[in-house]
Amino acid sequence: MPDDGTGALPLLRHVILNDKKSATYKLGLLRSVSRAADGAAGMAHYGDVTVSVPLGLVALNWIRLYKPLVDAGLPQQPGANATRLGFVKAGWDGLRDTPAFDLKAGRSFRGDAARSLHQAIRDAVNTLVSMPIQHMTFPGSDRPILKVDKQRAGRPPNDILIDRDYLARFGELRVPLHLWRSLARHDTWIEPALVGEWTALMERWAQKQNRTLDRLAVENAMRWSDPTRDVEFAREISRQLLDEGRLHCVWTGARLTGGQLDIDHCMPWAAWPCDDLWNLMPANRHINQNQKRALLPSAEALEEARDRICTWWETGYVARVPDRFFAEARASLPVSEPDFDDLFDGLQARRRTLRSDHRIDEWTPARVGAL
């Protein structure tokens, strides 16, 4: 029978609950990989027994996870101050005013910010390779679960676009295929287990330091830094095309007016919070709010809307912010080439994954179902 992702659950239970921990680093590593499996599957390369992801992506997720914890001064080792962790160096300090949710594919950094980001990722990579990747082993052995091919990333650039090519400059991390499938399919249960054990460790170490942690502060710091539900950029582009008389609802094909315009998350936000540009589309407000709502578009609905979606991608995003659009799409969708046919096939694949893994109800416009 095909592996449904449950084969690695005993291994995950061992790492999360039973494995010896002198820091939160093993949990941080596992959660960083889990976040890659959930939100950046497009960066993964599948082999026969392992999945390879850019080491820089894991380090970027690591920074994104630890940034609010360090800012809050929460203990990540017994007896150690959070600001004295080995990866918190000059590059980290340069990102102090950068929101954690800006550390994602498609974002651009220039000048001092680019150099700080590069140095922070390099420091995180060094910590990951020398500590949790080496010491997170199979039960009863000293054999590491994850394997790494580290590379020299070179000098800090003056301009960075966070995409797969850049993140792969730091090397590759190879994850056992059954573990990757578990993280991708069962993150709804794995994430709370990681957060719960991580929180318990911090509270235990805080007690040894004669500190009492504020539970709300801990919960806020442990929350993954998903962006707020912001569609303003897509809405502004839609208004520009609307003024030119070139804006249509992706689901009905009807020309939109200002009073009808709504921005739809094609893959529903309630099921999978994703504000990547490829996922934000103009739609008739009545259709979006009263029919599609938080439902997953059916394969038939997407296929019928293919030309309108691709036209929106091209005229709305590629004509204005091509680098960001393609970097986001190639990170979160399983695509190999930056062309619209491949991107649309990736969109359908993402739809199938959400449907099979999360069992989200589907929506098909009545006129499509009647064809």
Dist CA 281 CA 315 (whole Å): 12
pLDDT of residue 169: 96
pLDDT of residue 112: 96
pLDDT of residue 371: 34
pLDDT of residue 166: 96
Q: Which helix (H) or strand (E) holds 51?
A: strand 50-54
Binning pLDDT at 50, 70 and 90, where does residue 268 land? very high
CA distances from 23 to 63, 143, 191, 346 (A): 16, 19, 18, 38
Question: 315-321 — which CB contacts under 8 Å span 24+ positions?
Answer: 315/241, 315/246, 316/234, 316/237, 316/238, 316/241, 316/282, 317/237, 317/277, 317/278, 320/237, 321/277
| Closest among 154, 194, 185, 190 to 56, alpha carbons compared | 154
Q: Look at residue 156 and tell me whether its pLDDT is greater than 50.
A: yes
Dist CA 64 CA 172 (whole Å): 19
Q: Look at residue 2 and tell me whether its pLDDT is greater than 80.
A: no
Per-residue tokens: 326: 């393609």
> For 248-262, how does the pLDDT look when each residue is reduced to its tens digit (9 = 90+)?
999 999 999 999 999
Binning pLDDT at 50, 70 and 90, where does residue 81 land? low
Quote the DSSP letter at residue 149: E
Q: Which residues of 324-360 are buried (b: 16+ CB within 10 A; e: fewer)?
A: bbbbbbbbbbbbeeeebebbbbbbbebbebbbebeeb
- Burial label, 108 (beta-carbon count in 10 A; 0-12, 13-18, 19+): middle
Q: Look at residue 318 and tell me whether its pLDDT is greater than 60.
A: yes
What average pLDDT does the chain have? 92
pLDDT of residue 1: 41
- pTM, two decimals, is 0.90
> For 25-43, how does the pLDDT look when each residue is reduced to its tens digit (9 = 90+)?
999 999 999 999 988 989 9
> For 227-253, how does the pLDDT look when each residue is reduced to its tens digit (9 = 90+)?
667 899 999 999 999 999 999 999 999
Dist CA 167 CA 333 (whole Å): 16
